[in-house]
Each structure stands twice: as C-alpha cells, then as structure tokens.
Structure 1
C-alpha cells in the first residue's frame, strides 16, 4: 500500500515538472512598450518565441485596426516585410518591418503563436503612435540642394565686393605711439625769462665836432665893499 502511494506521488511530481517545463518553454517573450514614429519613416518590431525545440507551431505578428475588436495577422506586402531567425535551438525571433509609415498603421501590435496542442500564446502589446512628418535636411531632393549651392555661389562674390568697397576709401588708422615713461618734471616746459637791456649810445664824434658854446653871463650891477 505504501509503495503504490509512493509511486503515485512520484508520477504526480513528474507530471507537474513536465507541465512546468512546458510552461517555461512554450511562450512568447516580449516587453510591453509604446513607440512614436514619424509619418513616412519605417518601423521594426521583434518578439522571441521560446519553443524548446518543438516543431509544428505557427503564428507571427498581428495588428488591431482602429475600428476592429480583434487582431489580424500581418502578411507580407509592398510595405510590410516579415522575417525570422533562430538565436538558439530553443528560441526563434520574429521580425516585422513596415516601410513608409502612415496614420493607418497606428495602433496595437503583438505576437500570437498557435502550438500543436491548439493552444495560443500572446506576446505583450506594443502600441505604435504615428506623428506628423518632420522636416529633415537629408530628405531634401536633388533640386533643392542644387538651388542652395547656386545661391551660395552667387552670394559669395557679392560679399567680397561689398567688403572691398568698404575698405577701399577708408585707410587704416595710424599706429598709436607707445606711451612715454619719462618723469613729470621732464615733461614740464621751463618758463621763458624776459631780459630787458638798456643801451645808451654817446655820439662823442658829434660832440667834438660841435662843442657846446656857453653864453657869457650878463652883469647888470656890481657891488664892491671896502
């Protein structure tokens, strides 16, 4: 009786281990995310299917349209590329690449896998938001680039001519003399002194030639005392 109970417990534990191993293997690995993509660009999504080497499973990426209640599996088209690769013997990566994104591509995406036991595994939902197209200089066409090059080549001679006209009539300013480091006393000019000279010339020759004649005194009366 004890042996039969022991065997039943071992069988139950083995079944639980197999069930746990199947749960660890047969599922889709992916993270919940939200992506913002500008209109006109491209989008790439990836999920990992852990199958532990079991074959016969089917599935791939699915998309839910705005007015739809369920997910529709994506199929290859001119704008949609589907591919896969095996990183190990127990896992496979499923890729979807959408070109020329537009507003109709906005919405939730996820991987849906159907196993051989007719059970399904769903990956986490990735919600895609499509924003307005951004202006990118790398996306300009060839005509715009040629127009920009021609405009730049025409403006360059005009700028050179303007610089030449501005510098032709205005000679460069004279160089600034170096500062003088002489003392204050050397820079002060001495005052000019006024010298007065008194020169007296005597014309001796004229005096000798014409001696001054002293007139004789006139005697009006004379008094004699004895």
Structure 2
C-alpha cells in the first residue's frame, strides 16, 4: 500500500516537471474559432506568444481573403489597430482591433512570429471571420422586451394589492349617519307663545234698559267691546 502511494507521488512530480521544464518554448497559443460579426461593428483578436525571454523576435497578424490563396501581413490603418502587451516575463499577447467592419474584412486571421534563431516562423490557429448584415434597429419593442414587461407587471400586481390592503385595514370607513327623524322636536326648537296686549272697553248702565239715544262719544279705536245690561 505504501509502495503504491509512493509511486503515485513520484509519477505526479514527474508530470509537473514535464509541464514546467518540457513546455514547448518558444511557441504560440491561439485557439481555432469562427466568429460572426455584424457589418459596421468592431472586432478584437488575440494570441499569446511564449517567447521565454528570447529577445529579437517579431510578430504580427496575417489575413487571407475568402477568394484568396495566401496570407498577407496586416498593417495599421484608420480601421486596423495593432498592439501588444506582456502578461509575464516569458509571454506577450498580440492584439488586432478592426473598427467599422465591412464585407472586405471577411476571411481568415492568424498570428505569426519570426524567431531570431535560424529565422524560424511559428503560426497560431486560424480564426475565420464572417461578416453579416448590419442589425436593423426596430422602432418598437421586440418580443423579449414585451415578455419582460409582462412578467414585471405580473410580479408587481400582488405587491400593489397587498399595499392597498394594508392601507385600508388601518383606516376603517366611518360609520353611516343615522336618518334624521322629522317627527321629534328638540326642546331648543319649542315654539314659545307670544304675549299680546289686548285692549277692551267696558260700559256699565244704571238701568237694565238700554237708552234709546245713547250719548255719542268720540270715535275711538276699539279693539274689542263688552256690554253689560
């Protein structure tokens, strides 16, 4: 059991040594890929050069058109930008940025390096670029936006209902006003009788017989008269 574990550990250490010591150097790391780019947009391609600190090497990007049979080295222009940066002391990344892409940019791209010893060259994997028609911007919302809007409205509807319920629960509606009775009268509305002053004239005669010619008196304003005979 111990011997098998010891052998496994030795195998693992040997594998690490092979990776660190026997790593191909110098070399180029670039993945094979196909890209679809809309016309008028931009494109960036990158590859990693493992130069292991060897000075004097030169590198760049090569391009082959669709109907062409050979690669040509790209040069900087108004639309093509070439750059590089060192990630470690032993590797450098080569970049190419193409702006405002058109149909003439469709084809194969690869990075190539020329080493100072014996003028050897190394090439990375090829990236095929296909240029599609420019995307037409729709004036209205597309289907995905409409679906997202409907889902958002559906999710917000229960929240709004809960909020309305909470607000109405704390503030109950006022009690209804009882109908007013027109048959009962309040004491403050009692009708008070108005005292009136009554004037009366009383005439007394000495005899029970009524005089034929009563003495005429000046006419007065009589409100009421009472005669006793």
TM-score normalized by structure 2? 0.49
Q: How far is the alpha carbon of 1:91 from its aligned partner?
A: 0.2
- Contact 2:83 2:95 survives alignment (8 Å): yes
Task: Output aligned runs, 1:57-72, within 5 Å.
Answer: 57-72=57-72
Cα separation, 2, equivalents of 1:57 and 1:90: 12
The answer to whether structure 1 residue 94 and structure 2 residue 100 are counterparts is no
- Contact 2:43 2:98 survives alignment (8 Å): yes
Higher helix share: 1
Cα separation, 2, equivalents of 1:40 and 1:78: 14
Cα separation, 2, equivalents of 1:101 and 1:45: 13
Q: How far is the alpha carbon of 1:66 from its aligned partner?
A: 2.7
Residue 85 to residue 53, structure 1, CA distance change in 2 (3 Å) = same
2:75 is matched with which residue? 75
The answer to whether structure 1 residue 42 and structure 2 residue 20 are counterparts is no
Cα separation, 1, equivalents of 2:24 and 2:138: 48
Task: Report the secondary structure of 1:64's partner residue.
Answer: strand
Q: How far is the alpha carbon of 1:22 from its aligned partner?
A: 8.1
1:108 is matched with which residue? 108
Cα separation, 1, equivalents of 2:22 and 2:55: 13
Q: How far is the alpha carbon of 1:105 from its aligned partner?
A: 0.3
Runs of 4+ aligned structure 1 residues displaced above 4 Å come to 20-23
Cα separation, 2, equivalents of 1:84 and 1:102: 24
Task: Report the secondary structure of 1:88's partner residue.
Answer: coil
Task: Output aligned runs, 1:4-19, within 5 Å.
Answer: none
2:52 is matched with which residue? 52
Which sections of structure 1, spanning at least 5 residues, go unmatched? 1-19, 139-226
Q: How far is the alpha carbon of 1:21 from its aligned partner?
A: 5.9
- Contact 2:29 2:47 survives alignment (8 Å): yes
Residue 121 to residue 23, structure 1, CA distance change in 2 (3 Å) = farther
Task: Output aligned runs, 1:190-201, within 5 Å.
Answer: none
Cα separation, 1, equivalents of 2:107 and 2:40: 16
Give the CA RMSD over aligned residues: 2.1
Q: How far is the alpha carbon of 1:136 from its aligned partner?
A: 3.2
- Per-residue CA deviation, residues 60-92 of structure 1 (Å, 9 max, x unaligned), is 111012332211111100000000000000000
1:135 is matched with which residue? 136
Cα separation, 1, equivalents of 2:21 and 2:70: 30
* Paired positions, count: 120
Which sections of structure 2, spanning at least 5 residues, go unmatched? 1-19, 140-229
Cα separation, 1, equivalents of 2:74 and 2:22: 27
2:144 is matched with which residue? none
- Per-residue CA deviation, residues 170-220 of structure 1 (Å, 9 max, x unaligned), is xxxxxxxxxxxxxxxxxxxxxxxxxxxxxxxxxxxxxxxxxxxxxxxxxxx
Cα separation, 2, equivalents of 1:61 and 1:136: 33
Task: Report the secondary structure of 2:48's partner residue.
Answer: strand
Q: How far is the alpha carbon of 1:23 from its aligned partner?
A: 6.6
